[in-house]
Structure 1
Amino acid sequence: MATEQFQISAEQAEAYEDRFVPALFRQWVEPVLEAAELGPGSRVLDVACGTGVVARAASEQVSPGGRVTGVDLNPAMLAVAERVAPGIEWREGDVASLPFDADAFDVVTCQAAIFFFPDPAGALREMGRVTRSGGRVVVQSFAALSSQPAYGPWVELVARHAGPDAVRLLGTYWSEGDPDAMRARCADAGLRVIAVHEHVRPAYFPNIETMVLTEVNATPLRDRLDQAHLERILAESRDVLGEFVRDGRLVVPLAGFVLAAEPV
């Protein structure tokens, strides 16, 4: 999966909500909130909330009496979140310095974003700072590329045509995929890991071509591949990904984990 730009347009934010949330991110909401163990009255912060898929589901679980806040660096994402769920508090803010007091929340969640942060340990430390003693920090990340049954072979295929730099360009989503390394980051951030749960969840694409073009066009590979190389990648992708087509739709298994920790 491609590196996501941190500042995006309103059109991109709407596309994220319409396409990527149902295709990918909605499938990880349940395991995140299971690890969070929310209940009525819980105060929840969703960090790097995007258009708010986790926050929206969390708001249903904390009623009555609870409160959910979503924070994100992207105003365009927050504008979509506000349109979809105006009853939730949406705040612009950087995970490097969250705009909240210490101990302000019972639970802090972070779904599919830890690999975007320049300083993951610092981000975890900030999440722990705003979590009360005995509360929880819940982080979801995707497993390493070597553990991805579909994306692993596909990225190898792209690299054969686009060069080894393609692995880096397509590698952001997998860069924090080692649960042991995440445990170490938590320890550095003053968090004690309670549990790590591994999961495999589907990602949905209308077809193989849509998946390939989505991934390539979201990276500098778009400008590095001529049409001939792109056509070869598309042709070979049908062989690599064909086993994951179900009733004409591409259903890609994504391996990942959800980590729950508490402030020390």
Structure 2
Amino acid sequence: MAEHDYALSRRAAEFYEATMVPALFTAWATRAVAAAGVGPGDRVLDVACGTGVVARAAAARGGTVVGVDVNEAMLAVARRVRPDLRWEVGDATRLPFGDDSFDAVVSQAALMFFGDRVAALREMGRVAGRVVVVQVPGRLAASAGYLALADVLARHAGGAARDLLGAYFAVGEPALLRDLFERAGLRIARFESWLGATRSPDLDTFLAAELLPFADSVGPDVRARMVADCRAELAPFVDATGGVAAPIEVHLVTAAV
């Protein structure tokens, strides 16, 4: 089994780029490429690149970058934003590149969605000449903003909705993550856990992004109650200006090749 098939529309990909990238993933990308030690002239592969935030961060440090993803809509946005970079369709479990084609391979917020995580990690190690860096959400229990959201979903949309949100944290247990790297034959040089936050200018923007996968699964009355409960449960993460900072644990794993 390869990466999960999920049909994402161009509109949804544009929404992701406009909301989730600045809210969360730009800060992640800066950390990831720094951990990879990307410098001028380094060949960098961004695996499951999405709309290309990691690739852009690597290019800003002087890297020669390729982004690969299975989703055409995401790649279309990546090409629009940075037409000067190289973007390719490809499966993380069967990367279309030769051995040691890159100095650094980076994958962010994606490992949990690969059908065969070990195969994907093994492929990253195969095409990397120096380092593999993987960054993923940590434990739901250690991510207070998302734990509050999960509880609201469970109350109003059932356990299946909570489980869908929980899928983002599916490789968040450190022991599981270490085991995946070991089984892929990758030696972990550094395992860092840090507390980040999804930052939005207001709660409406945050909820528009985070409730999007669940909005069509419930009726308008249930959705209204869900939003009202979210406002109450997420109030501790809203500052005096109305801005939101929902805490989320993040694991950053660096493996020497």
- Residues 1:241 and 1:7: Cα distance change in structure 2 (over 3 Å): same
Cα shift readout 1:204-248 (whole Å, capped 9, x = no counterpart): 2343344334333313x632x233332322222222110111211
Structure 1: gaps of 5 or more residues? none
2:98 maps to which of 87, 98, 101: 101
1:142 equivalent in structure 2: 137
Provide runs of 4+ in structure 1 moved above 6 Å.
Answer: none
Distance 1:231 1:6 in 2: 27
> SS at 1:160's partner residue?
helix
Cα shift readout 1:53-80 (whole Å, capped 9, x = no counterpart): 111110121x3xx421111111222222
1:116 maps to which of 89, 113, 118: 113
Distance 1:211 1:40 in 2: 36
Q: Scaled by the length of structure 1, what TM-score is found?
A: 0.89
> SS at 1:248's partner residue?
coil
Cα shift readout 1:72-131 (whole Å, capped 9, x = no counterpart): 111222222122112211111111100000111111000111111111111101101111
**Bigger Cα displacement from structure 2, 182-191 vs 164-173:** 164-173
1:166 equivalent in structure 2: 161
1:185 equivalent in structure 2: 180
Report the identity percentage. Answer: 42
- Residues 1:216 and 1:16: Cα distance change in structure 2 (over 3 Å): closer
Q: Scaled by the length of structure 2, what TM-score is found?
A: 0.92
2:51 equivalent in structure 1: 51
1:38 equivalent in structure 2: 38
**Bigger Cα displacement from structure 2, 200-209 vs 120-129:** 200-209
Distance 1:244 1:195 in 2: 30
Distance 2:81 2:222 in 1: 40
Distance 1:92 1:102 in 2: 18
Distance 2:60 2:223 in 1: 44
Root-mean-square deviation (CA, aligned residues, Å) is: 1.8
2:235 equivalent in structure 1: 242
**Bigger Cα displacement from structure 2, 198-207 vs 251-260:** 198-207
> SS at 1:237's partner residue?
helix
> SS at 2:211's partner residue?
helix
1:260 equivalent in structure 2: 254
* Structure 1 residue 157 displacement after superposition: 2.5
Distance 1:84 1:208 in 2: 27
Query: Contact 1:27 / 1:202 at 8 angstroms: preserved in 2?
Result: no
Structure 2: gaps of 5 or more residues? none
Query: Contact 1:209 / 1:234 at 8 angstroms: preserved in 2?
Result: no
Distance 2:159 2:9 in 1: 30
1:156 equivalent in structure 2: 151
Distance 2:167 2:205 in 1: 20
